[in-house]
Amino acid sequence: MFKSLVIILFISLFGSIHLNAQNKAALPIATEHYPPYEMKDSVTGLKGFDYEVMVEVFSRLDYKLDVEFLPWNRVLAYAKQGKVLGILTCAYKQDRNDYIIFSDPISKRIDGFYVRKGVNSLIPHSLEDVIGQRVASVSGYTSLKELVELDMNPIEANDTEIAIRMLKRNRFDYLFLNKQSTDFIINQLGLTNDFNFHPIIQEDFFFCFSKKYKGVDAIVVKFNQTLENIRLDGTYKKIHDKYRYYDEK
């Protein structure tokens, strides 16, 4: 009798543990290949500083992740529909408040204009300075929206690499993009000496949680607390130090 009871309790306990493991499924995350913030394929062992920070945060919270790299417009669509817990990485836009809960800042962005070296062009200090000029950015990006909102009729490129090559081929004169990410790709393309950069905007980047994802509010609180902890214990700095060349440029 006692032996049978022990067996029943063991089976019940094992079943409960197994059920809890099943219930804590990997959290779905949507992102875009956006070096050096996050990279689909590692570069010399690096996956991106925001990617590493995110993994560290959720690892400390005992969550597994299912990270999918997608085109940016689909990333946004998945967040709107609640198909994913959230987006890594995104900028603040007022219209995103309808479907996004913004984390505490996870990194920074510097946006500005790239121009071809050797071209005697106007040096811009604001977006308005290049109204009437040939300008461009990448489809779906906040930088493109900012140009559209000023009725600048920007040219849209499908991704950053295409945009860089278009600028080099004189398809337009001003390319408005994030410096950290664009510098990384320019360096990979071997075009470091071909462009000048003029900074315009410096703002924060965030992990962007989908408001429609079940249980998201509690996860946001734990995420922000843990993000603060890794800043305080030096882990955040150690991660960013590995990317110092791209992070500080």
Q: Where are the domains of the chain?
A: 19-108+204-248, 110-202
Does the domain made of 19-108+204-248 have the CATH classification 3.40.720.10?
no
Name the token pair of 116. 């071809």
> Cβ(103)–Cβ(67) under 8 Å?
no
5 phi/psi in degrees, rounded to 5: -65, -40
Identity of the residue numbered 4: S
* Radius of gyration of the CA atoms of the chain, in A: 22
Name the token pair of 111. 């946006």
Task: Going residue by residue through the chain, which has 249 residues, state the pLDDT in tens, using 9 for 90 and above.
Answer: 444 444 444 444 444 433 343 356 899 999 999 889 999 998 888 999 999 999 999 999 999 999 999 999 999 999 999 999 999 999 999 999 999 999 999 999 899 999 999 888 889 999 999 999 999 999 989 899 999 999 999 999 999 999 999 999 999 999 999 998 899 899 889 999 999 999 999 999 999 999 999 999 999 999 999 999 999 999 999 999 888 755 544
Domains 19-108+204-248 and 110-202 share a fold: yes
Residue 162's beta-bridge partner residues? Answer: none
Q: Which of 184, 187, 205, 202 lies closest to 53 in space, CA to CA?
A: 205
110-202 has which fold? Answer: D-Maltodextrin-Binding Protein; domain 2 (3.40.190)
* Maximum Cα interatomic distance, the chain, rounded to a whole number of Å: 92
